[in-house]
Amino acid sequence: MSRPAKFDRDEALQAAMLIFWEKGYHATSLKDLECALKMKPGSIYSAFCNKENLYLLALGLYVQRSINRFRAHMEQANSPLTGLAEYIRGFARLAPEDVACQVCMLTKTLVDATSTEPKIADQAKIHLGHIRQAFADAFERAKAEGELPDHADCTHLARRFQGTIAALRFELHLGIEQTDIAALAEELAGDVETLRLNAPDHPHLITATSFGVTPT
């Protein structure tokens, strides 16, 4: 008699993350999870307690991987602002079938769960803060290395940067033409590079219209 396949928790969470990311919390059925995880309902509940807990674990995996990828990218950059600008440009280089072309899983979670699943929505907000902090750390490094002036508000810049990424990914999700997404990404990346101290237009970008967006 052959032995049952060994349960791989990491692979199961990865599969759950992908199906939840694609369909959302409410639209993902138990049957969807069975197929994606290649597990029976009893095994899913035994391993992850319930659907809500599985979603929270999958969401945590998504966030940790996103932060890890961002930090790894920044470690390879020639300078912090260059790294931030290239991070934006990278979205225009994604293949159409790349899952990263989807709307951010955290954004989808807030739309899907805020009115019905407060625990999940609250955790998504916390995760968004973690990602924003990773961006703020990059801007703080830019300040420490002399790319930004001492008065630069890195928390504000991180919030603008996060909004920029969300908007760009939404356009990717809509499937706009590659030339259009590339032009948009280049413009947004250029706004980040203009923050550099030796760029002539940096003061108003830091204090009022970071990344070309007028505060409301």
pLDDT for position 96: 85
Digit-coded pLDDT (tens) for 92-119: 999 888 888 889 999 999 999 999 999 9
Supply the CATH classification number for the domain 63-212: 1.10.357.10
pLDDT for position 80: 98
Digit-coded pLDDT (tens) for 164-215: 999 999 999 998 899 999 999 999 999 999 999 876 554 434 433 444 333 3
Express as a percent the part of the chain with pLDDT over 90: 81
Every domain of the chain and the residues it spans: 63-212
Digit-coded pLDDT (tens) for 49-90: 999 999 999 999 999 999 999 999 999 999 999 999 999 999
List of long-range contacts for 78-82, beta carbons under 8 Å, 24+ apart: 79/142, 79/145, 79/147, 80/138, 80/139, 80/141, 80/142, 80/145, 80/147, 81/142, 81/147, 81/148, 81/192, 81/193, 81/195, 81/196, 82/193
